[in-house]
Amino acid sequence: MTSETKVLCVAEKPSVAKEISKILSGNCFVMRNSRIAYIKNYEFKCQLNSKEVQVIMTSVCGHINALDFPYQYAKWESCSPAVLFDAPIIKKTIDAENAETIRDNIFNIAHTVSHLMIWTDCDREGEKIGSDIKDICVMANADITVSRARFSAIIPTQIKQAWESPAQLDINQAEAVSARMELDLRIGYAFTRYQTLGFKQIFPELGSEKVLSYGSCQFPTLGFVVEKYKAVENFIRESFWKIHVVAERDNMTVNFNWEKDKLFNVNCCNAIYHDLIMEQPIIAHVIQVGTKETKKYKPYPLTTVELQKAGCRFLHISSDEIMKIAEDLYNKGFISYPRTETDQFDDHNFNFQELIQAQTNDQRWGDFASNLLDKRITTKKGRHNDQAHPPIHPVQYASGLTGKERTVYEFVVRRFLACCSEDAKGNETTVKIRIKDEYFTATGLVISDYNYLEVYPYDRWNDKNLPNFVLHETFTPKECKMEEGQTSPPEYLTEAELINIMDKNGIGTDATIHEHIKKIIDREYVEKQVHGSKTYLIPTNLGLALVEGYDSIAFNESLTKPLLRAKMEQNLKQICEATREKNDVLTETINKYRDMFSLTHNNLQRLVEGFAKYFTLNSEANDINRIFNNIVNVENPKLVRWCRETQDLRPMYLKNIQSNWIISCIDYPNCSHGFFFNNSSSIKSISTNSEICTICSGNDSPIHYLTIVYRSNRINRGCFGGCDDNMDMLLSKSSGTSNRPNDGGSRRGSRGSRGSRGANDEEAVRGTRGSRGSRGSRRGGYTGGNNLDRMEGILDFTQEFDVDKLDAVVRAFYTGVGEEQKKAQSVLTQFQNHPDAWLKVDTILEKSKFTHTKFIALQILEKLIQQNFIVNIIVATSDNEQTLRREKTYLSKLNLILVQILKQEWPHNWPQFIPEIVSTGRSNVTICENNMAILKLLSEEIFDYSAEQMTQLKTKNLKTQMCHEFSKIFELCNEVLEKAHQPSLIKATLETLLKFLNWIPLGYIFETNIIENLRTRFLESPEYRNVTLKCLSEIGALNVSHEYDDKFIALFNMVVTALETMVPVSADFSTIYKSSSNEEQEFIQNLALFFTGFLSTHLKIMESQQNNQPLLKAHYYLLRISQVEEREVFKVCLEYWTKL
């Protein structure tokens, strides 16, 4: 292993991870399997901020987490649907196959790296997925630094730019998605359960398995389809009459259209017509002949919505399918990101020519593309720019595509080339004639320049020739007749038209519109029907019933119209823009839908009547109100405790089944564990009391006291959570269940149970005082202020250690929200850092039932082993030349581990580290060499990587606080450079000095002989000149007070003088560079960096000197270097010349 920084990169899909790995690694990576066949971990090295880092690229498969209701709300009949508007919500790993394994793959890797870079798609959903990835990694490694790669296409230029210029996650966008997920869950579940449970009972035709889902986007989408369907079905045809004139000239037939178009009164039209034909022959007077230039405008750049519309209209591919195809093309690197609202290119900065050039070899559009290369590209500007992604466009040529992928790619290319072309041009001729007092017009078109139409066959513009007419001439038409016609009904809605309506009304986003359309088709609310050459969307009876039923209720804002959902989408945008708080949006929207739910139930009869038009009522469903009241007024389950037999602590509820009182797991029959009350026949009732047991309460639902009323009217009251021995004695276990509710999980103290009463005739415990448990069964988390404070109990190492409580804190971190999750993270961090935490590791590994708790124990153990033994191992391995060379790789790994420890422990817990490493460095040459490597690595990991994130004040404070340590490092480096002769030691020292020059106090640099040593001993030596020149460049670029001006002048003149002895000013650097070795090329690169960096900072000082020969020579050198045919060298020089 090497000592490079390790970076974990996580993409949204496996295919994207592979493509990015190819680009960043130059197709040179090691692919390692994870525990899932389709998730690979790609390992490679890459340059980041001018240093080599070790990269591990992996991926997720879309969303990792989902929101859900706790188990007590899981079964549809378990609670009133109305309760779901306010019920607690938990965050959990999605139910998809292998989701937990994907999560664990990221968790395990994050434990070994120092940096996380997120490569999810750059949209709202991608920010949410990235935020969830970050949470996983922070749990594995609290010190991990997080950055965000932003890109629009999987092509080398964009991927490399994203790698080199990482950004930060947009938490506002992630919060907007979180809000949307919660609203969809609450609103969707409440209405879906209500209408499904009720209508299936009273309309048997629906079938017992039918789910009548509700979605705040689904219903407005369905509403659009129904509205257009009704417009067609209710259309009444009307007769109309018009007058049509036909002329014939030069073997061409010309149709003249009546200026009045048509009349709906036959007598009126007949009167006008007879007046025209009364005199024969009919004479037509040409009163106007005009020709004007006209255009067929080229299309706007392609957006997601337009792609979906075009896919349906031109390509005959559904919106859902075309988005899947577009995403596949994006993942393969053929087109840009396919989810964008932007319909305008930045004509000044967008690289049109390179993209057009890539298409010139295609037989279908290659010639057209070639003709665009020499033209100035000006595209049509739309009004939308999402500031995230450009319009959809091809990013590289794809020659091997087949089927629908080929069709969609061709459309994207042709649309892009059309945007880069010019408008089609033509000449339109208009001839206007008068017959008596009526006017008629004919038009013709001659296309002069097809331009974009040559490559874009999806638009039509056809020639229509007119013969020659002369102004003021007269002629006799061939025909003048009166025609009867009828108005035509509108057409049913096509998918393309529906997409357009949804987009205009703000239903869904550009990235989700196709999903909502697919949903109403999958739910059988709408079906596709082919009429002629077109495919239409037609509502089913179920779709009509739902819309008509809800439309019959007098809502202030209809559930089937777009306004309600459009407002919600606008609120989500405001969360993204940080103009509204997430909780405000949630509260406002939930309250609105709760009121609409109540109004729906109060107007149930109208809803049922809407269904009764299309379905037959169940003859046995006599009392419809009672059926729906039973759904809405169902008594919420009474939580008693948590089932310790299930892996994830599911709730157990009080039930009465055939006069037998039991407490059973919600997962029954999958979990058969439960408890029976002895002598249930003597029990009149059991209820939960409003008083809560503070010992046994769990996270989402408190545990209440039970009140047992016997038929003899005696009462027994107590807690079944595990803290009350008297209550425990009233129970018998079911198969496989320990008789004690907490089966060993609670430790009993000396306190008595609270007021438990027994009775002889019930064989209960009589009035005795039982022990009160100090610990009860817990679910994995805490709620309420007191319970949040109780988390800190795991930090009291003077008490007996409770693994269950630690499990609960860890679970609270994973499943909790808000303050609970923050508190859990804080407590866990303190626990891991406690000096006695390692003493609990064996207990945790043996007794914990939660995998992530065991991970924490292993982290504590690893930290202990590393910190206690790593230093001694390093010293033992590096104390002689032979061992140092033989175990170089092993030693590099040890050094890296030590630095990882230092990142957490230094300087607060290890203040003597720098003095110790400097002191041991003076004891032995080989130890000194390795210590230099450790110091260099320390600088890279702690100072260099975070330098850009530090404010100037923070940097200044750090330099002040660490002045003593930095001076010690300098003294050791200077001492070695003055006395050492071992090449490897000298090189290691120069590299370490380079890393610390920016932090070392200026007095040490300019008031010692370090600069002289660098020039005389190392600058002219081929083995050291590159790193030496880098050191001098670092010094030369320092921007400090004028008291050091003379020092900078002397440094510059010294370097120029030394350079003349190595390379004359007249040297042809361009030719030298081409034939040089890598080290020689690097020297030319470093030379360019030295001159440009120094002169950019100190040019005015150098110009003020009388002797300007060194300055002139430096510019001559720089001019020669500028001719080198290497991109980065030229770029460095160009930036300097541009600033002059």
Cβ pair 390, 350 in contact under 8 A: yes
Residue 1026: pLDDT above 50? yes
1056-to-81, 1036, 1064, 1088, 1114 alpha-carbon distances in Å: 82, 13, 10, 13, 7
What sign for the dihedral angle of Cα 1085, 1087, 1093, 1095?
A: negative
Average model confidence (pLDDT) across the chain: 82
Tens of pLDDT, residue by residue over 866-922, are 555 566 667 767 777 777 777 777 777 777 777 777 766 676 667 777 888 888 888
> Cα 400 to the chain's mean position, in Å?
31
CA atoms within 13 A on the CB side of 131: 18
Residue 510: pLDDT above 80? no
Select the more confidently predicted residue: 948 or 132.
132
Segments in 203-265 forming alpha helices (H)? 218-233
Q: Which of 219-228, 499-508, 590-599, 705-714 has the lowest mean pLDDT?
A: 705-714
pLDDT for 820 equals 75
724-to-596, 696, 746, 850 alpha-carbon distances in Å: 45, 10, 10, 26
pLDDT band at 749 (very low <50, low <70, confident <90, very high): very low
- φ/ψ of 895, rounded to 5, equals -60, -45
Tokens found for residue 71: 């188990």
Residue 305: pLDDT above 50? yes
pLDDT band at 960 (very low <50, low <70, confident <90, very high): low
How far is it, in rounded angstroms, from Cα 707 to Cα 782? 25
Over range 121-135, report the average pLDDT.
92
pLDDT for 399 equals 87
The residues that are catalytic are 337
Tens of pLDDT, residue by residue over 470-486, are 999 999 999 999 999 99
**Domains in the chain, please, with CATH?**
5-61+96-169 (3.40.50.140), 178-234+491-632 (1.10.460.10), 239-297+426-486 (2.70.20.10), 304-421 (1.10.290.10), 639-773 (no CATH), 785-859 (no CATH), 896-1139 (1.25.10)
Q: How many helices (H) and strands (E) does the chain have?
A: 40, 28
Burial label for 618, CB within 10 Å (0-12, 13-18, 19+), is middle
Which single residue is written with the structure tokens 């407490």? Answer: 663
How far is it, in rounded angstroms, from Cα 640 to Cα 651? 8
pLDDT for 237 equals 92
pLDDT band at 735 (very low <50, low <70, confident <90, very high): very low
pLDDT for 728 equals 66
Tokens found for residue 504: 């205009």
Which single residue is written with the structure tokens 């055939």? Answer: 658
Nearest 10 degrees: Cα torsion 532, 536, 541, 547: -150
Residue 778: pLDDT above 70? no
- φ/ψ of 485, rounded to 5, equals -150, 175
Q: Which of 146-160, 198-212, 746-760 has the lowest mean pLDDT?
A: 746-760
pLDDT for 943 equals 63
pLDDT for 869 equals 56
Select the more confidently predicted residue: 1023 or 751.
1023
Amino acid at 25: S
Task: Give SS3 for 941.
Answer: helix
Segments in 878-1001 forming alpha helices (H)? 881-886, 888-905, 913-921, 925-938, 952-961, 963-979, 983-996
pLDDT band at 696 (very low <50, low <70, confident <90, very high): low
Residue 191: pLDDT above 50? yes
pLDDT for 157 equals 87
Q: Which of 1036-1050, 1088-1102, 1106-1120 has the lowest mean pLDDT?
A: 1036-1050
pLDDT for 88 equals 83
What are the DSSP E strand ranges found in 693-788? 704-710, 715-718, 731-733, 748-752, 771-773
Going by C-alpha positions, the residue among 902, 891, 881 that lies closest to residue 933 is 891
> Cα 801 to the chain's mean position, in Å?
40
Residue 734: pLDDT above 80? no
Tens of pLDDT, residue by residue over 621-669, are 667 888 888 888 766 656 666 665 555 556 677 776 656 777 777 666 5
Residue 963: pLDDT above 90? no
pLDDT for 168 equals 94
Over range 1095-1100, report the average pLDDT.
88
Residue 320 has a CB neighbour count (10 Å cut-off) of: 19
Tokens found for residue 910: 């290890």
Residue 1134: pLDDT above 80? yes
For the stretch 507-521, what's the b/e string if a residue is b when 16 or more beta carbons lie within 10 angstroms of its beta carbon?
Answer: bbbbbbbbbbbebbb
pLDDT for 729 equals 65
Over range 502-519, report the average pLDDT.
86
Residue 701: pLDDT above 90? no
pLDDT for 817 equals 60
pLDDT for 172 equals 94
Over range 914-936, report the average pLDDT.
84
Cβ pair 120, 141 in contact under 8 A: no
Over range 309-333, report the average pLDDT.
90
824-to-104, 143, 789 alpha-carbon distances in Å: 20, 16, 10
Residue 746: pLDDT above 60? no
Cβ pair 317, 324 in contact under 8 A: no
Over range 815-824, report the average pLDDT.
71
Tens of pLDDT, residue by residue over 58-70, are 999 889 899 988 7
pLDDT band at 805 (very low <50, low <70, confident <90, very high): confident
